[in-house]
A and B are shown apart, each in its own frame.
Chain A
Amino acid sequence: MDLLLVLVVVALIALLVSAPLRRRGALEEEESAERAELEAARDAKYREIRDAELDQRTGKLSDADWRAQDRALRAEAVDILRRLDELGPGED
């Protein structure tokens, strides 16, 4: 009884672990990974832009500093969006 259970577990582990090695189609996985990375970077960048603005409005960032930071952050955001579009159309 115990032995049977153990053999089943061994088989399941082997199946689970070897699945990626038996599969093809790695290329699309690459793309979706890059998309996920860029989307996360984009969301983070938006948060940074909002954060900076909130800091400026509550008096923690001087106007001059904020304008410079905002400009730089928006430029970085534009860059990320461009790279996202270059990946081609994806899921919506």
Chain B
Amino acid sequence: MDPSRKRKVRFVVALSVAVLLAGALVYTSFSASSEARTPSQLMTSSEKGKVYKLTGKVEPGYTRKGTTTYFRVRDRAGKGSVPVSYDGTLPDPFREGREVIVSVRRQGEGFVGEKGSLITKCPSKFTAEQNKT
């Protein structure tokens, strides 16, 4: 095979490999991802066993029993709220009224948080609502 044809073949092979890898990437990202849901969305419909990324505000009045925390997550701007149980240490910024993101799975009437998935947003320093809990 003369050099220029060899180069064309190489280029096509490389491109195909890239496309295949990109395809695998895209496919796995859709199948491995967890959907973001607000509490009201979860209240309306949630599949048992599926992992969702719950975002919302922590309602006042959460309790701890042993290493597990029981709290409710409320819509950022709304009325819906769901109960979550989370086993493990809470992140330092965790507070009532703060926004959290936690991966949850439905169990019965409530939701169980995946260990290590609880993220509390650092309070924004740029809006008027800072430090009002």
A and B directly contacting (CB within 8 A) = no
